[in-house]
Amino acid sequence: MQIEWLETSVGQNLLLQEQQLVGKVLDRVFGDQIVQIGNWGAPELFLTQARTQFAALLGNELLPGVGAIVAPQRLPVITDSIDAVLLPHTLELGLEPHAVLREVHRVLRPDGKLIVLGFNPLSWWGLKHTLSPSGFPPGLRRQIPKRRLSDWLRLLNLNIESVTGCYASVSAGKAGKLLRRWHWFASAYLLVATKETIPMTIIRPRVMHRARLVGGLVNPTTRNIV
């Protein structure tokens, strides 16, 4: 149902705007590796815009362009090894969003970027999701408010860098650009966070000073006693 909805005109418009928003972020991400966790749209939709040396899609379906099938809450990735992680609605489609975020924090390098695409519960689409028995868009398990997601990320020492709105039902012209700046009631949003570097405090060993003798010592004399 999700794939069929994405092929509608509204779904295609959403994918186009999300691709543009993610592309602007990826244009500022350099380094060795970026990983997209979760399928959303065509496999090449986002990562073809990456400027890193290596890009991989870790998905939940064996499709062309998917590098590996993984469980997002248990990633086969080395700790502190990834420059950027993209979650395109992954937190809303999976079972354990908190576990996914903990894994993302683990694999991100210090100062690495987390890019999250999500749907906004405070929108018309959010109301449709609440009233629909199959969720909206179809197959969605939950919608996570931006403020709640921000709180989760801060607990993991991920600093919120920016939030941009996406109005999928409007054009990409001037009106659409103006609306995307005001993201509170947007249909979807893009959130960018940075893994904070925890400064290392060097503890120097204490220098032990010898205790001084009170009054000092009597100097020996070289005079002979008669």
For helices 97-107 and 146-155, the axis angle rounded to 10 degrees is 50
Closest to 117 measured CA to CA, from 8, 193, 9: 193
Q: What is the mean pLDDT of residues 172-190?
A: 62
pLDDT above 70: residue 146: yes
* Cα distance between residue 193 and residue 175, in whole Å: 27
Q: Decide: 56 and 108 in contact? Cβ < 8 Å.
A: no
**Confidence label for 141 from pLDDT (cuts 50, 70 and 90):** confident
Q: Decide: 113 and 29 in contact? Cβ < 8 Å.
A: yes
Q: What pLDDT digit, counting tens, does each position of 209-219 carry?
A: 554 544 444 45
Percent of the chain whose predicted confidence (pLDDT) is above 90: 56
pLDDT above 50: residue 175: no
**Confidence label for 62 from pLDDT (cuts 50, 70 and 90):** confident
Q: Residue 19, by phi and psi: left (phi above 0), alpha (psi -120 to 50) or beta?
A: alpha
Q: Decide: 46 and 74 in contact? Cβ < 8 Å.
A: no
- The pLDDT score that the predictor gives to residue 14 is 92
Q: What pLDDT digit, counting tens, does each position of 6-21 carry?
A: 899 989 999 999 999 9
* Cα distance between residue 203 and residue 182, in whole Å: 47
Largest CA distance in the chain: 120
- The pLDDT score that the predictor gives to residue 89 is 95
Mean pLDDT, the chain, integer? 83
- The pLDDT score that the predictor gives to residue 170 is 47
Cβ contacts of residue 81 below 8 Å, gap of 6+?
33, 107, 109
CATH among 3.30.465.10, 3.40.50.1820, 3.40.50.150, 3.20.20.70 for 2-195: 3.40.50.150
Q: What pLDDT digit, counting tens, does each position of 24-37 carry?
A: 999 999 999 999 99
β pairing state of 188-195 and 158-166: antiparallel
